[in-house]
Amino acid sequence: MDLSGRVAIVTGGGTGLGAEVCRQLAGAGARVCVNWSRSEAAARELAASLGDPTSAVAVQADVRDEAQVAAMVASTERAFGAPVDLLVNNAGVTTYVPADDLDAISTEDWERIFGINVIGAWHCTKAVAGGMRARGAGAVVNVASDAAILLEGSSVPYVVSKVALVALTRTLAGALAPAVRVNAVAPGWMDTPWLDRYVPADVAAALRRGDEPVVAVDRVAAEILRLLADDAANGTVVQLSE
C-alpha cells in the first residue's frame, strides 16, 4: 500500500492500536502526527522512531477541547508543510463496570467517555473536514468496537458511546461525500495497554490466556489503512471480533 506524502493524524497514537497504526502509516510512506493526551513519553519516542521531524511529530491535544484540536491540526500542517488528508480517530476510554450495577456509573463517567469517544471524534473530523472538502479528497477512519454491534462491553457508557460513534460514522459519510470518506473499524478485545489500564487483572489474564477471542492489533491497524486507501469505501463499519 502506497500512502507516500500523505499527512495523517492518529489520535491516541502513542500506545496500543494507535501506535501500530502510526507505524504502519509510516511504513506506507505517510507523514504522521502522533497525537497524545497523557502518554507524552511514549508518543515522542514513537515519533522519533518513525523518522525525522519532517516525517513524524508528536503533538499534544485533549480531543475533548475543540481549541486544542484546532491547534493540533495547525501544528501538524506547519510541521509537514502540507494539509492533513488522513485522520484516524483512535482515542478512547472506558470504565469497567458490570452493566447491571447502575449505581457504580457516575455522571462524570458518562461525560468523560462520551467526551473522548464521540465528541472528540467529532471535533477532530470537523477540524480537518473543511480543508478536505475544499481540496476534494480526504479519509477518516473511526475506531469503534464490536460492543456497538454486540451491545455488551466494559460498561454501559462505553457501549453506548461506540454505538454513537458508528452512527456518527455513517451520518458523516453521507454528509461529507463525495469529497471525504468516513469509515470505521469495530474490533473486539485486543492485547494492548488498554487491558492493564481499564480491565480488572483477572479479566485481562483470562483474555491473555485465550479464554476469549483476542484480535491481533496489527490486523486491525492493517484494516484501518485499507479503509484509508480504498476510494470505494464510505460509510463502512468493519467488525473484527476474532
pLDDT digits (tens, 9 = 90+) for 171-193: 999 999 999 999 999 999 888 88
Considering only CA atoms, give the Rg of the chain. Answer: 17
Please tell me the least confidently modeled range out of 150-164, 168-182, 205-219, 223-237.
Answer: 205-219
Host H or E run for residue 204: helix 201-209
Domain-embedded: residue 239: no
Domain-embedded: residue 1: no
The total domain count for the chain is 1
Tell me, what CATH number does 184's domain have? 3.40.50.720
Domain-embedded: residue 148: yes
Catalytic residues: 158
Strands (E) located in 130-209: 138-143, 180-187
pLDDT of 70 strictly over 90:
yes
Contact 158, 113 (CB under 8 A): yes
Beta bridge partners of 58: 34
Domain-embedded: residue 240: no
Tens of pLDDT, residue by residue over 75-100, are 999 999 999 999 999 999 999 899 99
Task: Return d(Cα 58, Cα 39) in angstroms, integer.
Answer: 10
Domain-embedded: residue 238: no
Domain-embedded: residue 160: yes
Task: Return d(Cα 66, Cα 20) in angstroms, integer.
Answer: 26
- Residue 191 belongs to what domain range? 7-233
